Structure 1
Amino acid sequence: MPPLRDANGAVTNWVGFQQDVTARKRAEEALSTERDQYELLNQIIRHDIRNDMAVIRGWGDQLRADLDDDQRETLRRVMDAAVHTQELTEEVRDLTEILGSDDPALEPIDLGAVLTREIEQVRSTFEYQADTLSVDGPGDLPADLAVRGTPLLSSVFTNLLDNAVLHSDGGAVHIDVSVAVGAETCTVRIADNGPGIPDAQKRAVFDHGEQGERSSGTGLGLYLVDELVTQFGGRVWVEDNDPRGTVVCVDLQRVR
């Protein structure tokens, strides 16, 4: 506000305001402390769940050699559930990270290295299905093939590869990973021979909490994929595979 003046125009008084923000600052500090406590609890729970699931999978691997075919199928379902539970803890961690960052710092990511690592990881994760699982990689890619992203790009392909195995219909699973390199973008195609996704659900599967007709999951995985790819300036969509199955396409921006 302007100062108060007398009849001669001389300043006689100043008017000011002050506001006590002590309560607000205390509330902000309490909220920050509560958020830190929840994050610590989140980390502890994820750690304990991962450890317990690792024990289940370890004992399951030892049992496998002593079972007949019917019993092995039952064990496969148990092991799939253990893998899914472990993956859920990673999805929660990654969602917590991306939801807390509106503007992630993008950097060049070696696409070939990420795909190689994630393909080896899915083979290792589902080693108990080695007799019925095959995963073909994209072959040789340009050594300097980089895309815009963050280290969470690996979570995109972890989720897509794991989904291709977990949502199969129980027979032999074949996954083919290919890359089409364009001038400005790279399109990664992950094709499987599973039951496929109806046309009406091809976009909806990326919505928060959406589950496919055969899925018993939380619907977080593909939502996470869509959120991450969008943050990277790319896009993701679903096509039909021939003669059956699904192809998930991930289009990413190249770094030249």
Structure 2
Amino acid sequence: MTGTVDVLLVEDNDADARYVEELFREPIPVQEERFPGLSDAGDEVRIHRETSLAGTTRTLESSAETLDVVLLDLHIDDSGGMETLEGALEASRDVPIVVLTGVDDTSVGAAAIRAGAQDYLVKDDVNRDLLERTIRYAIQRHETGQALRERTEQLAIMNQLTRHDVRNDISLVVARARQLRNEVDERYADTLTEIITASNHVLQLTRTIGDAVEAADEDPDDSRLGAVSLARILEGEVEKALDLYEPAEIEIGGDYEDVEVWGDSLLGSVFGNILSNAIIYNDEQTPRVDVTVTVEDDTVTVDFADNGPGISPRQRRELFSSESSDLDGSGLGIGLFLVRRLVDRYDGDIDISDNQPKGSVFSVELKRA
């Protein structure tokens, strides 16, 4: 922003336009800022007026970069209702829009915000303080939204590179290493197995990064949540883990074939990450995971019991934190922050307990659909 706040006022009623202009001309107390919180804004407000959607569109298309906010009356010479807002948004989304309405109906304002406006004002209720506060917040929210969109675009690019370029190269490493199994001297067999296991772990991590980006971009109340087949997702993840992490052993028990739970396609990441951690951070020559499904009237609990070294009480407290990606340098916990986020999204729960005689049990409770 410059030292002047440039307002595009879209209003075809001369009396209403004059009233808005007079509000901005009202004197302010000496010690009071006109737009506090906007560091570059001065006390001057410069108003540009249009009376039609056609004129508004031309101004936005040609001069959006010089404007700070649009005050938009929905009913003007050549347009009425939401069509006016849609036309302004189509011309430019680089300027925040505050809708002016003569109807004291919150449903109109709510519809305008859903369509892309930053806020709305009822003309009969507008005073100087309310007008300037609404403009200030609209500009700030718009700037925050733009920063978030730019960050989302950057994450999408990273996700694309990770999921495709990196995965393709690592998949090639795994394939070539497996081809060498029958060709290398026994002295190097364990080394080759380590290469394959570590490479497969990288594949799991690239999937986790992609799923985390996707989960971060979704609304917790997203309509894509619904009934999903537990057997299809769980057995699919077990099959992937067995293929990735030889010579691991995984067994599934329980009567769950026709059970559906509340979730979406990302439920596979919950199971995949738990299986990956149970096998990768296992000190046994043959890592083993026993998966037990317990079906109740309203919930389903999936227990993943491994024969690894176990998890200390301190690590359990930190495990699902966003800071837990490398506890004690072990790498334990990578992906589990995503697991917690997704399980919460499904209104489920997750817990960790000791396995006997050694190891840990991850218990995931999900709602039946």
Question: What TM-score, normalized by structure 2, do the two folds share?
Answer: 0.59
Whichever of the two has the greater Rg, that structure is 2
What amino acid is the match of 2:182?
Answer: A
1:136 aligned onto 2:255: no
1:228 aligned onto 2:228: no
CA distance in 2, matches of 1:13, 1:54: 65
**1:118 counterpart residue number:** 237
**2:227 counterpart residue number:** 108
1:86 aligned onto 2:193: no
Q: Is the 8 A contact 2:241 2:276 kept in 1?
A: yes
The counterpart of 1:42, out of the listed 159, 166, 169, is 159
Q: Deviations over 1:110-143 (max 9, x none)?
A: 11121111111111112xx23xx21101254242
Query: Structure 1 pair 61/100, CA: closer, same or farther in 2 (3 Å)?
Result: same
The counterpart of 1:58, out of the listed 175, 196, 200, is 175
Deviation at residue 26 of structure 1 after TM alignment:
3.0
Give secondary structure in 2 for the equivalent of 1:179. Answer: strand
**2:19 counterpart residue number:** 15
CA distance in 1, matches of 2:201, 2:16: 75
What amino acid is the match of 1:98?
Answer: A
CA distance in 1, matches of 2:300, 2:146: 46
Deviation at residue 38 of structure 1 after TM alignment:
5.0
Q: Which ranges in structure 1 are unaligned for 5 or more consecutive residues?
A: 1-10
CA distance in 1, matches of 2:260, 2:360: 26
Give secondary structure in 2 for the equivalent of 1:137. Answer: strand
**Larger deviation: 19-28 or 151-160?**
19-28
The counterpart of 1:247, out of the listed 361, 364, 368, is 361
Deviation at residue 30 of structure 1 after TM alignment:
7.1
Deviation at residue 69 of structure 1 after TM alignment:
4.3
CA distance in 1, matches of 2:360, 2:16: 80
Q: Is the 8 A contact 1:148 1:254 kept in 2?
A: yes
Deviation at residue 209 of structure 1 after TM alignment:
3.1
Q: Which ranges in structure 2 are unaligned for 5 or more consecutive residues?
A: 1-14, 22-45, 49-59, 69-92, 96-141
Deviation at residue 70 of structure 1 after TM alignment:
4.0
Give secondary structure in 1 for the equivalent of 2:368. Answer: strand
Q: Is the 8 A contact 1:109 1:149 kept in 2?
A: yes
Q: Which has the higher contact order (CA 8 A, sep 6+)?
A: 1
CA distance in 2, matches of 1:47, 1:220: 20
Give secondary structure in 1 for the equivalent of 2:94. Answer: helix
Give secondary structure in 2 for the equivalent of 1:229. Answer: helix
Q: Deviations over 1:26-55 (max 9, x none)?
A: 377975577436523530343110011011
Query: Structure 1 pair 188/26, CA: closer, same or farther in 2 (3 Å)?
Result: same
Q: Is the 8 A contact 1:209 1:220 kept in 2?
A: no
CA distance in 2, matches of 1:135, 1:251: 20
CA distance in 1, matches of 2:284, 2:16: 88
The counterpart of 2:94, out of the listed 3, 19, 26, is 26
Give secondary structure in 2 for the equivalent of 1:26. Answer: coil
Deviation at residue 215 of structure 1 after TM alignment:
2.2
What amino acid is the match of 1:155?
Answer: S
Q: Is the 8 A contact 1:137 1:176 kept in 2?
A: yes
1:215 aligned onto 2:330: yes
**Larger deviation: 26-35 or 240-249?**
26-35
**1:197 counterpart residue number:** 311
Give secondary structure in 1 for the equivalent of 2:20. Answer: coil
Query: Structure 1 pair 19/174, CA: closer, same or farther in 2 (3 Å)?
Result: farther
The share of aligned pairs that are identical, in percent, is 31
Query: Structure 1 pair 245/68, CA: closer, same or farther in 2 (3 Å)?
Result: farther
Query: Structure 1 pair 12/191, CA: closer, same or farther in 2 (3 Å)?
Result: closer
Question: What TM-score, normalized by structure 1, do the two folds share?
Answer: 0.83
**Larger deviation: 14-23 or 175-184?**
14-23
